[in-house]
Structures are given as C-alpha cells and as structure tokens.
A and B are shown apart, each in its own frame.
Chain A
Amino acid sequence: MQAIAAAPAVPAIVTPALLTPQSVQAQSPPPRPPGPLATGKRDAVADPVSHFFTAPRFAALHKLCHLLMPPMNGNPGALEAAVPQFLDFLVGQSPTDRQQLYKSGLDLLNSRSATQFGKPFASLDATQADTIIRPLFVLVPWQFDLPKEPGARFMAAAHDDIRVATRNSREWTQAAIAAGRRPVGAQLYFFPVDPVYPPAPPAPVYKG
C-alpha cells in the first residue's frame, strides 16, 4: 500500500504491472510456470458427517458392514473405507423405496436380535450374528432381479452396495498402490456438455 501511495501520478487505466513498483518486482520470487493449481480431494482430508439413519440403525449397519466385507486379501474392509457413513449419505439421498428397504432391513436385524439374544444386532458376536443374517441370504442369479421377500431383498441390495462402496473407496485404491497392484475401477468420466441453465424442473408424475 505504501509503495502505491509513494508512486508518481497514477494513470487513468491502472494495470497490475503499474501498481507494482520495479523494486518490488525485482525482489519477488521467479514466477511459476502457468498451469492448474494442485488441489486436494475431499475424501483425503475430511470425514463424512452422518445424518440419515437413527443411532440403532446406524449401529446395525456398521456391524453388517464389518461382517459382510471385513479386511481381506490385503484390502481394507468396509469399516476402513467408511462405508457405513457413505451409505448413510447415499441412502439418505435416495428415492423412498430404497430408504424404506434399508430402514426396515436394519430394523429387522435389531428386532430378531432382540428376540433371540435380548440385545441389539451391533452387540452380537460373530456366531450369534450369523444366525440372524444367514437366513436372509438367498441366491441372486441375476443382479437385476432381486428377491421379492423384504428381508432377503434388503440383504441382497445391502450386500452389493457394501461391496461396491468398499471397492470404490479411496482406501481400496491406496492399498492396491501400496501393494504394487494396479488399482481397479478408474474409468473415463464424461463431463456435462453445454448444459441448459436453469435445469429442467422435476418430471411430472404419470397419471393414467
């Protein structure tokens, strides 16, 4: 500021170069080559904040994640990959049928657990938990045709979500790199092309 005040008469059109006296320019570090700034990634610096599931449901989901996808073959498990927190976010953003599937599925785990063992699902040991979840596994020969029975349907959907969310995590990629394996899952991302603004209103509902 002082430097500017001390400068001689300022011309009508001020360019940055004119605002910076030569003496200051001479002292500045050499300019960096032009290019994008290095920016960080969300998942590398921050933890998700959970909002959607109630505490008992979240605890059951946490337990389920650990049982279904523990650390294996040198890869992180679902808990290391913060999958319960991620699914809290994802399901919270989802259409109501998916939300309902999760809520009633997690309630089912807790209620069966209370009936059989007198405690919440999250407090069961592995053998006890197995007696609760094993009957909910049915064969799913085709992933586009989930079982109709609600408990089995929840388990099929949650199993798939937990596996995919774990494999797609930053922790999974990092473990692969650390072990000298090629990380899987990277693909070409297609950017939006010249989107219309403002975006379209929600689609009207079919009445007919």
Chain B
Amino acid sequence: MAKQEFDVLIIGSGHSGGMAANVLTQKGISCLMLDAGPEVNLATNRATRNPWELPYRGMNKPGRLPHVVQANEFNANQWVDEKEVPYTHHPATPYNWVRVRLLGGRSLFWGRQSFRMSDWEFKAGEKEGVGDNWPISHADLDPFYSRVEAIFRVSGRKEGKPHFPDGNFLDADYGPDSATVQKVTQIAQSRGYLVSKIRASNGRNGQASSVNLLLPDALATGKLQIVPNAIVRELTVDKNTGLVNGANFLDRHSKQELHVKARVVILAAGSLESTRLLLNSGLANSSGMLGHYVIDQLYGVQVVASVPEARGGTPPEGLMGGTALLPRFRNLQKGEKNNFSKGYGMMIASGGAAQPGFFQDYGESLQKKLDLHAGACMTASIYGERLPRYENHVRINKDVKDAWGIPVLHADVKDSANEHNMAKDAADTAEDILKTAGWDILSKTDKFHPPGYSIHEVGGARMGDDPKKSVLNKWNQSHDVKNLFQVDGGCFVTCGWQNTTLTMLALAMRASEYLAEQMKTKAI
C-alpha cells in the first residue's frame, strides 16, 4: 500500500532545512524531513579526554581526513568520512569540502559569527560596477534578517553604516577596549575604515543549531516527521506534469531503497550536496548554470606583531585583550583604484602568542623567544570575498561512487589574480596598521587556503530573474520545476566577505513563507 503523500519533503536538517520546517509546519503544512545522517545527543556523545588518551596522541589518524584542515583527533568523528562519501578534484587544484552528516548538519558545530550582507554584496554590479546583482536587495531581506536574529539571539554593536547593516541585536556589553584595540581603532579610523565588533548568534544553552532553535517548534505542531539515516539518491518526477513528486532514498545501514511522495520538494542538503542531487536527478538545469559559480571565502593571510610593552609574560593591566573587526573597506566607492574587485573584512585580535615558525631557532633559545612574546601578540587575519566565476564549478564524476553507489561530485574551482591581489593588499594593509602602532612585525604571509576551506561554500544554483542565466528565481524556486525549491546557500550570487549562514537562514525563511502563500492560494 502506498504511503501518505506529504505536502512538503525537506531534504536536509541543518540551518536551512530546519528553518523551512520551522516556518512551514507553523503554517499548518505537513512536512517530512529526510536527513542522510543519524541523530546525535551532544550531551552524551562527548567526553573530555587528554590528547595522550587518544590512539594517535591527539595528532590525528594519518590520512583520515586529508581535506578537512579543521579536523583533529578530538573532532574527527563529526565530519563526513571522505572514504564513505568521496569527491574528486584535479591534484593541482585542491578543493576542501568540509561536511557534516548528522541530524542538524553543520549547525551543531558552527562558529556562530552572524553578519548581514549588504547591498555591496546583493547589488555588487550596481555598487561596484563589477559582476552580477542578486535579484533581491538588503531591503527585501531586512525583515527576515530581523526575525532570524531574534530566534538565534544575535548580539552585535550597531554602527549605522549601510555597508555593514545593523540588526535586531540583543543588548551586549563589550566593556572598555584594551589599549591595543583602542590604538588599532584609532589608526584604522584615521584611514577611513569602520571598526566594529564580532556579531554572533548566542542561541540557547551554548547551542545555536537547528536541533535546539528550529526543529522543536516544528515538531510541536505535530506537522513534522523527521527520518534520519535516509540518503536521498534522486528526486522523482511526474512524467505528465514534469513536476517533482517525491524522492528515492537509501537506508544508511541496509542500503534498502525506498520512495516517498510529496507535493513539493525543498532541497536543503548544503549548497553542493543539493547541486549533486539535482545533477544526479537530471533536473532544473535548462540554463546550463547548475553547478556553476561555486564560491566561498578566502581565509589565510596572517600578520602577527609583538607589542614591546606587553612582553615578558605579564602585560600591564588593560593593555592586551579583545578584538577589533574591520568590516569590508575596499571598493566601497565606485571607481576606487585597486588591482582587485570586492573586498575583505579584517579581524585584529589582541593577546595572542608567537608560533615557533616565526623564528629560525630551536630548543631553549627558541623557547625563550616564545615565552617573551606569549600574550604580547596582535594577530590580523581576514575574511576575503572570492569572485563568482562561471568556470568555477562542480560536476558529476560518473567514475566514482560513494558507499551507497551514488555518483560523486568533481570540484573544479580555482583562484584568479583577483584573489591573489586581494590577499596581498590585505597583508600589506594589516602590516601597515600594526607597524604604525609601533609594534614589531614577527610574521607576515599573504598565502591562503584552497577554495572550500572557509566552510562557506555557496552558489552552484544561483538565483536570478533570467531563467537562461540562473537556476532559481528570487524566491529560491526552480525556474524549470515550479514545485522544487532550494533554500541552502546554493542560490547565492555573490558570497560577500560575511559568514554566510545568517543570510541563508533569512533566505530560507523568506522562501518558505512564499511557498506557504503559494500553497494556500493553490498556485502550487
């Protein structure tokens, strides 16, 4: 006997899928959520260990997660096993795809930095004269951002600057800045740069995940069923209408294949997994744009300076500590002369340590230097924006299948001169600020991680008004298949320098409300 048909099938339980379920069920719409991963209880699944109690002394099982730089032996089990679900890239152009397959996805572990994007990102083409615009502006997303900020309990300092839009923030007391942060602020401001503070989701009880902030309310409506360990292989299509009517999935343990029926399908498996699913299903790609314009942010670039008065282990009270955040300050004016477009944010943290590699030394003499600079360092790092480029794409590699027999992705994503020039400018700018403050530069690099490392991979199914140039419309709805939505980062047209999740959440909320409206009027 055929099982019930759901109103909406949501694939993926992370931030974006959680938001879709939260919105739709509270509007009375019945939802089934499938997630490839098992359920996990963070309270009981973790325990404190010394590094030497682990099999490899905390230094990682060699070769286990070659693409996850963030992995260590403590957290190795939280990431997708690269042998179970491989992906490929040319050896010369690495791509670091950092994935989680657990109920709640990456929302269980994210760093919670939460910035809005501005019209310098949404309307990049207009503002800067380079690249494409999104079909929406900050004003369209503003009310949704505000509601997401309330749910995630975002704190931040208001600045009143359109390129760094303020939000619906909790009151937060940042306390007085340390003298070194004041000095950085003064120098940066004298160069015309805004200086602010990190904005972050506080969540509840130390967690800001879909599991604790989004799914409980959805479940409470009685309108949501969640099935973990369900790996969706492909979407199924009604041959008469061309609309999607459900999905085939595999049981994670037994590999048994099952089918579910739904009137609408929402993809929320993460930008690239959703793209993989669409490519494997042969759907939503009349534009030929599916898988293209894959972007993420440029991380790396580090300049470290030592503050002379802070050396020796016990800096004077009030000198060190805290951070200064410099939101993007390059190319905010049209026609600004730089050898790159877009920009980067910069974080300057006070009170860090020097690393052994900063000195050509070893043994006791090295240790003396490390002790001298301990806690006396200022560390500048960046959040760079990469350019969206058609050539940067993912495609299916038919020769390689995952442990469930599903063809994997091949990532073909490279950096251009724009990224290298931006990184160089960032390193020079950081050096200039720290030197101007009178501090000694210990180390400077303009090197950066390969694409994907930032864990802010977006694009692949970008949104737009023109069905020939985009996969989704401005409501995250497929141009080709009207009852198919993708609410994760796949829709991004530009990636901005800002951590992407707050924008994903606002977009997922907006798209889900639109869908609910369409279902009410029977337009879908």
Residues of A bordering B, CB below 8 Å: 41, 43, 67-70, 72-73, 86, 90, 93-95, 98, 133-134, 137-145, 156, 159-161, 163-165, 168-170, 173, 183, 185-194, 196, 199-204, 206-208
Asked whether A90 and B59 contact (CB < 8 A) given A67-B362, A189-B49, A190-B74, the answer is: yes
B82 at the interface (CB under 8 A from A): yes
Task: For A95, list chain B residues within 8 Å (CB).
Answer: 62-63
A191 x B45 contact (CB < 8 A)? yes
B356 at the interface (CB under 8 A from A): yes
A86 x B57 contact (CB < 8 A)? yes
Task: For A73, list chain B residues within 8 Å (CB).
Answer: 367, 371
Q: Would you give 23 A-B contacts (Cβ < 8 Å), ordered by A?
A: A72-B363, A72-B367, A73-B367, A137-B361, A138-B360, A140-B357, A141-B302, A141-B443, A142-B300, A142-B357, A144-B300, A165-B57, A165-B59, A168-B57, A169-B57, A186-B49, A191-B46, A196-B252, A196-B253, A200-B84, A203-B82, A206-B90, A207-B399
Residues of B bordering A, CB below 8 Å: 37-38, 40, 45-54, 56-59, 61-63, 69, 74-78, 81-84, 86, 88-91, 102, 229, 252-253, 300, 302, 355-364, 367, 371, 397, 399-401, 403, 410, 443-445, 447, 449
Which of B38, B63, B357, B447 is in CB contact (< 8 Å) with A94?
B63
**Bound: A200/B81 CA distance, A:** 9
Which of A139, A144, A165 is in CB contact (< 8 Å) with B69?
A144
Task: For A161, list chain B residues within 8 Å (CB).
Answer: 59
Give the Cβ gap from A72 to chain B, nearest Cβ, in Å: 5
A189 x B400 contact (CB < 8 A)? no
List the B residue with the shortest CB-CB distance to A169. B52
List the A residue with the shortest CB-CB distance to B66. A95
Task: For B76, list chain A residues within 8 Å (CB).
Answer: 190
Task: For B89, list chain A residues within 8 Å (CB).
Answer: 206
Give the Cβ gap from B373 to chain A, nearest Cβ, in Å: 14
B363 x A189 contact (CB < 8 A)? no
B47 x A189 contact (CB < 8 A)? yes
B50 x A183 contact (CB < 8 A)? yes
The A interface, classified by DSSP as helix, strand, loop or mixed, is loop
B45 x A193 contact (CB < 8 A)? yes
**Bound: A67/B444 CA distance, A:** 27
B403 x A196 contact (CB < 8 A)? yes
A141 x B88 contact (CB < 8 A)? no
**Bound: A3/B469 CA distance, A:** 87
Task: For B51, list chain A residues within 8 Å (CB).
Answer: 168, 185-187
Task: For B361, list chain A residues within 8 Å (CB).
Answer: 137
Which of B46, B54, B84, B360 is in CB contact (< 8 Å) with A139?
B360
List the B residue with the shortest CB-CB distance to A93. B62
A193 x B302 contact (CB < 8 A)? no
Give the Cβ gap from A135 to chain B, nearest Cβ, in Å: 9
Q: Which 10 A-B pairs have the closest CB atoms?
A: A140-B357, A168-B51, A94-B62, A200-B403, A141-B445, A203-B86, A194-B38, A189-B49, A137-B360, A142-B445
Pick the most buried of A68, A173, A190: most chain B CB atoms within 10 A of its CB. Answer: A190
Task: For A185, list chain B residues within 8 Å (CB).
Answer: 50-51, 58
Give the Cβ gap from B85 to chain A, nearest Cβ, in Å: 8
Task: For A133, list chain B residues within 8 Å (CB).
Answer: 362
Give the Cβ gap from A171 to chain B, nearest Cβ, in Å: 8
Give the Cβ gap from A192 to chain B, nearest Cβ, in Å: 5
B62 x A41 contact (CB < 8 A)? no
**Bound: A202/B400 CA distance, A:** 12
Asked whether A192 and B77 contact (CB < 8 A) given A93-B61, A144-B447, A200-B83, the answer is: yes
**Bound: A202/B64 CA distance, A:** 11
**Bound: A163/B61 CA distance, A:** 18
**Told that A93-B61, A137-B360, A137-B361 touch, could you supply 19 new A-B pairs with CB distance under 8 A?**
A41-B53, A67-B363, A68-B363, A72-B363, A90-B57, A98-B62, A137-B362, A139-B443, A142-B302, A160-B356, A188-B48, A190-B74, A192-B77, A199-B84, A203-B83, A204-B401, A206-B400, A208-B90, A208-B410
**Bound: A191/B355 CA distance, A:** 30
Give the Cβ gap from B19 to chain A, nearest Cβ, in Å: 23
**Bound: A206/B94 CA distance, A:** 12
B84 x A193 contact (CB < 8 A)? no
Task: For B302, list chain A residues within 8 Å (CB).
Answer: 141-142
B45 x A196 contact (CB < 8 A)? no
Give the Cβ gap from A66 to chain B, nearest Cβ, in Å: 9
Task: For A164, list chain B residues within 8 Å (CB).
Answer: 58-59
B364 x A72 contact (CB < 8 A)? yes
**Bound: A189/B57 CA distance, A:** 12
Pick the most buried of B53, B86, B90, B357: most chain A CB atoms within 10 A of its CB. Answer: B357
B445 x A145 contact (CB < 8 A)? yes
Task: For A183, list chain B residues within 8 Å (CB).
Answer: 50
